[in-house]
């Protein structure tokens, strides 16, 4: 490691998410940071990772560099194994053939429920209308595990959501997902934020702080949440982006800084 390194919050989150991705697994990939995380993982850690897009594309070798709004075009679908349709893709997930879903989210609660629909007011008259579900509900419902990537802000990590777009562990009670008609073995796995890495306790299903990201402290993490997560017995400090990860992101994947240029700069 060099003595000095500077990176953005988005770069840190992308690299953290990439390190979570296992080889020889299928991943439903959302737009933006999840795409870049999958590219890092494929090239550095998990060469046999298979990308699945909700509109039916299976196993593309995404052509670089990444471009703004790069989804459902020839570059993001380059050399795909198959291109079916949305119903077919979600049918495969419902059959248990998609291992992970990776989503960018607006709001989350302590049980991993996600809101990307609206904030404040009512569904008919919201204070702020968000992007909506897209395929996020189906991905969080049917994939075996779900990884979410989001900015760490108090207004985003809430005790109670305005709306549940994508179910997590619902109210956290035993068999809550099963009572709602969801596969009981599925559910939230990891939450990557700009300050921390979280998992979920197997018994209570509450969010659990596992690692603090570079540039943040445990106190800052907890102060920027409207609920208090469980704490891992051995709370760790996450490794910063490596020189190899940053070179790949900045020179090959996103040289125009479309995604990686966002977020606060962190110096270590």
Terminus-to-terminus CA distance in the chain, angstroms? Answer: 11
Residue 219 a catalytic site member? no
Q: Which of 6, 9, 22, 54 is catalytic?
A: 54
Nearest to 99 by CA among 32, 24, 36, 33: 24
Distance CA 201, CA 206 (A): 5
- For the chain, the maximum distance between any two Cα atoms, rounded to a whole number of angstroms, is 53
Structure tokens of 78? 């380059």
Nearest to 210 by CA among 4, 136, 218: 218
Helix (H, G, I), strand (E, B) or coil at 54: coil
Give yes or no for a contact between 110 and 225, defined as CB atoms under 8 angstroms apart: no
Structure tokens of 246? 């940053």
Residues annotated as catalytic are: 54
């Amino acid at each position: 490691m060099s003595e000095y390194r500077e990176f953005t919050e988005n770069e840190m989150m992308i690299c953290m998410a990439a390190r979570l991705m296992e080889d020889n697994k299928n991943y439903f990939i959302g737009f933006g940071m999840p795409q870049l995380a999958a590219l890092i993982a494929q090239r550095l850690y998990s060469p046999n990772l298979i990308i699945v897009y909700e509109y039916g594309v299976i196993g593309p070798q995404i052509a670089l560099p990444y471009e703004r709004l790069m989804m459902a075009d020839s570059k993001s679908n380059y050399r795909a194994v198959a291109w079916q349709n949305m119903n077919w893709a979600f049918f495969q997930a419902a059959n248990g053939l998609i291992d992970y879903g990776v989503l960018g989210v607006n709001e989350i609660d302590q049980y991993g429920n996600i809101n990307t629909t609206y904030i404040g007011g009512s569904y008919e008259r919201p204070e702020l209308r968000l992007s909506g579900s897209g395929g996020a509900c189906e991905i969080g419902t049917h994939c075996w595990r779900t990884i979410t990537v989001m900015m760490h802000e108090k207004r985003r990590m809430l005790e109670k959501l305005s709306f549940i777009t994508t179910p997590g562990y619902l109210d956290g009670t035993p068999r809550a997902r099963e009572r709602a008609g969801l596969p009981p073995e599925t559910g939230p796995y990891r939450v990557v934020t700009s300050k921390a890495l979280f998992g979920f306790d197997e018994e209570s299903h509450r969010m659990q702080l596992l690692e603090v990201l570079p540039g943040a402290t445990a106190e800052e993490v907890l102060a920027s949440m409207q609920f208090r997560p469980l704490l891992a017995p051995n709370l760790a400090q996450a490794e910063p982006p490596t020189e190899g990860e940053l070179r790949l992101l900045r020179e090959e994947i996103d040289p125009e800084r479309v995604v990686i240029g966002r977020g606060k700069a962190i110096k270590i």
